[in-house]
């Protein structure tokens, strides 16, 4: 009996039959995209589409492979990182000999060599080093990032770029993320559908252990490690600066933490836990990256070809969970009018009038919809505290110890504006309320 040929006709020898399977889908409308334009002209336009991939790590490697095998011909990839040995269990475009090289460069070269006819341009740098002109050249942006700050930055940039007069200024943003057996895919049409900032409260910042617990009453191995990391390191300064990737530095912290744990009778400090706590390591595996990256690229393909309806306008968020059987949920989010990026209303900000300004600023780091580490603040147009430049910082520093109501004279209804150097394009607007 002859072998079963899946494609029936895929056995041709010309390069045209290379995309036989993809053409089945993009040249033949189905029952869910009856009105799609599948003409040669439409497909030719798609061939010219430029896609930007942000991140060449666990998701990024998969995304580059998937886009190349979805027929995208012109791809750029940005990543500032170099390859580490702990990447090799999932970042499948890298080999042991590549450790230390730039991820973007190695990944781009590998996929270009493997898939004929695709051009991949690597950029070994931070996304913040490019301006709007750079981002304007792409039709779709796909993100595989592990940093919330980078997501917020690209989101704000793409939203700001939208010019209602120019349809091409609207760049769909597809964002993936994973943790262990779980992950999520989001599709954003900037200014039209809810943006990453609208959904920021989906990432709850990890609750910090109070300093006094670390300093005086540790109970968990993590408390001992944080003590070594935050307090002992600062006091003893064993090396000029902490390099979390230097095994010698981690070993120092591990031994400090072990000694402290022993002193208090606490079990469970290990090298691996020390590394995990200090670097905030998130478990990551090849299979979850494969699922989420492919889901992102499936949406990119659907948006580019209209081969089927994509996520975005109705449900915009797909959550995957594989640790207890398999569950997916797709959600619809609403755009927030008081979103600092895509809305135009100020949010209420409830504060305790007896707080000092410092306490208010500290609360911004853990406020789920804000998560700012270096905030500067103005009230009714008057500067209360500025992180930069140093002269102004020094002038405004005395305000940090003043209380909001009695010390600074703030009243309910005051307009508060908060900025942070991580997001230069953003101003967070609030209306003050006393709790």
Could you give the residue numbers annotated as active site? Answer: 212
The yes or no reply on residue 295 touching another protein (CB under 8 A) is yes
Among positions 88, 366, 392, 431, the unique one binding another protein when judged by CB under 8 A: 88
Among positions 168, 248, 390, 435, the unique one binding another protein when judged by CB under 8 A: 248
The yes or no reply on residue 240 touching another protein (CB under 8 A) is no
**CB closer to another protein, 39 vs 89:** 89
The yes or no reply on residue 322 touching another protein (CB under 8 A) is yes
SS3 335: coil
What is the Cα–Cα distance from 267 to 258, expressed in whole angstroms? 9
Q: Provide, rounded to whole angstroms, the least separation between the CB of residue 130 and another protein.
A: 27
The yes or no reply on residue 403 touching another protein (CB under 8 A) is no
Q: Provide, rounded to whole angstroms, the least separation between the CB of residue 69 and another protein.
A: 4
What is the Cα–Cα distance from 316 to 174, expressed in whole angstroms? 10
**CB closer to another protein, 12 vs 348:** 12
What is the Cα–Cα distance from 169 to 186, expressed in whole angstroms? 20
The yes or no reply on residue 264 touching another protein (CB under 8 A) is yes
* CA distance readout (Å), 431 to 365, 378, 413, 415: 18, 12, 5, 5
Cα 191 to chain centroid distance, Å, stands at: 19
Q: Provide, rounded to whole angstroms, the least separation between the CB of residue 395 and another protein.
A: 31
**CB closer to another protein, 183 vs 375:** 183
Question: Which stretch in 36-44, 189-197, 284-292, 362-370 sits in contact with another protein by CB under 8 A?
Answer: 284-292
* CA distance readout (Å), 277 to 221, 256, 298, 362, 435: 10, 14, 35, 21, 35
**Rounded-to-10 torsion of CA 361, 366, 368, 374:** 50
The yes or no reply on residue 229 touching another protein (CB under 8 A) is no
Question: Which stretch in 90-98, 163-171, 194-202, 365-373 sits in contact with another protein by CB under 8 A?
Answer: 90-98
The yes or no reply on residue 100 touching another protein (CB under 8 A) is no
The yes or no reply on residue 318 touching another protein (CB under 8 A) is yes
**CB closer to another protein, 32 vs 389:** 32
The yes or no reply on residue 208 touching another protein (CB under 8 A) is no
H helices within 121-246, ranges in order?
132-136, 148-161, 211-216, 221-226, 233-236
SS3 87: helix
- The contacts of residue 325 (CB under 8 Å, 6+ apart) are none
């Amino acid at each position: 009996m002859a072998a079963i040929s899946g494609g029936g006709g895929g056995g041709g020898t010309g390069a045209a039959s290379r995309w036989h399977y993809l053409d089945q889908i993009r040249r033949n409308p189905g029952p869910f995209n009856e009105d799609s334009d599948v003409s040669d002209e439409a497909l030719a336009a798609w061939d010219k589409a430029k896609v930007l991939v942000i991140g060449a790590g666990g998701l990024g490697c998969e995304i580059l492979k998937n886009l190349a095998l979805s027929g995208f011909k012109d791809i750029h990839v940005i990543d500032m990182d170099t390859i580490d040995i702990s990447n090799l269990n999932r970042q499948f475009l890298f080999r042991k000999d590549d450790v230390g090289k730039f991820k973007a460069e190695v990944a781009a070269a590998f996929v270009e060599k493997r898939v004929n006819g695709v051009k991949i341009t690597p950029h070994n740098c931070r996304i913040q080093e490019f301006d709007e002109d750079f981002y304007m050249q792409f039709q779709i942006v796909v993100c595989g990032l592990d940093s919330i700050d980078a997501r917020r930055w690209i989101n704000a940039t793409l939203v700001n770029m939208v010019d209602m007069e120019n349809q091409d200024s609207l760049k769909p943003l597809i964002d993936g993320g994973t943790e262990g057996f779980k992950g999520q895919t989001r599709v954003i049409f900037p200014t039209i559908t809810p943006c990453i900032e609208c959904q920021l409260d989906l990432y709850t910042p990890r609750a910090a252990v109070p300093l006094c617990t670390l300093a005086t009453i540790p109970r968990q191995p993590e408390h001992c490690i944080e003590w070594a990391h935050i307090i002992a390191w600062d006091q003893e300064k064993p090396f000029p600066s902490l390099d979390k990737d230097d095994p010698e530095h981690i070993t120092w912290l591990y031994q400090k933490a072990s000694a402290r744990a022993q002193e208090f009778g606490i079990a469970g400090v290990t090298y691996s836990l020390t590394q995990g706590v200090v670097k905030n390591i998130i478990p990551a595996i090849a299979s979850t990256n494969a699922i989420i990256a492919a889901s992102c690229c499936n949406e990119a393909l659907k948006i580019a070809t209209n081969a089927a309806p994509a996520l975005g306008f109705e449900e915009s968020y797909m959550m995957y969970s594989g640790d207890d059987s398999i569950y997916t949920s797709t959600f619809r989010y609403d755009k927030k009018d008081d979103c600092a990026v895509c809305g135009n209303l100020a949010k209420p900000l409830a504060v305790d009038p007896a707080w000092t300004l410092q306490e208010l600023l500290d609360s911004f780091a853990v406020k789920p919809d804000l998560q700012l580490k270096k905030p500067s603040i103005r009230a009714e147009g008057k500067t209360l505290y500025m992180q930069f430049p140093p002269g102004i910082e020094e002038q405004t520093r005395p305000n940090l110890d003043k209380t909001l109501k009695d010390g600074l004279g703030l009243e309910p209804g005051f307009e508060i504006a908060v900025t942070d150097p991580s997001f230069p394009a953003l101003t967070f607007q609030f209306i003050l309320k006393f709790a």
